[in-house]
Structure 1
């Protein structure tokens, strides 16, 4: 099944963040009929400290869980499709337990968390999904007990440290605020969580860059697509000027060329400071690298010295970018 850009980002992000604390199965298939669950998660028995560091997302992950993220408001049919996957999986687990001559423990049944940016009152009412603010934060709506399902409306979650990992799956300013908060966290968390956090933020920024460029330019050239990966690794404050520049591009070949030169020039500027004629002359040769090599080279730019760069492209002649 083809995933939307947001769905692909959300699946990758949850995989990176949850894999240090349990078993993650992405696009998990349920046969007869074949259906795919975006994330099927089973926690490790020893992951309690890491779960706490993930706030509300960690609380969701204390027990077996299915995560179905959406980038837009959902329809009743989409909710029913999610419920169908859950119930088919419950049946499959019950059948497996019987084959093993044991009773299925209720705690083994995964709970479904449907993650959506917004939801209408009629949608929530139609599924009898109600808040439980005595035990949970606002923005979480629980279906009746034996449905094992909750709808999490990301943009309704309070902007607190406990929700930041989930708000990264929101939209617009909600997502950006979460990225800024996560980037500012101290590096005193477990290394696995730090790595998951960093990869999650980069996945979010990659989605933002792709969306802006595609909105302005349509389909990206292989070279421009290759430049997204090194860009997504930048701290959010360094990424902002790039996004502003992209929003001003014309939708034509010249716009793509301008974007490519702007990205490489400014990545070099971040690494080496103001560019002299020698470094400016290397922009075009760098862009002539095959896309995969280009992406890898610029991703490693922080480890490359000026002399190494000049040596790598010795034939470059002084020029200026368009």
Structure 2
């Protein structure tokens, strides 16, 4: 097929028609179209273009536009998938952060009877620590020691 595409006239037109008739997901179609588009680009930069080459460029232009649309659609789909993945990751992180906040606040309530404004302020600082770091502090330090240490 590739040799017929590189041919001239009717043989070339029939080969391009056959190529266009291949299913979209056919790997031979995709590779041949890539080669055709390279040929189109090469012909466009050639300064001595004859009438047949001009016709070939015109014949390949819709294929080129279709390929651009396919690539654009693939890019959009990839972007959507990446956005979904990032959204999921952010949601997971926010969920983990909210759960850690609940653990710290509940621990402070149980330990000190209530969660006043001062204890709420140190919650933010404690969230920056890992559970391995904040758990011993919450177990061992008094309210005054926690406030002095983190405010």
Q: TM-score when scaled to structure 1?
A: 0.18
Please state which structure has a larger fraction of its residues in helix.
Answer: 2
The structure that has the greater radius of gyration is: 2
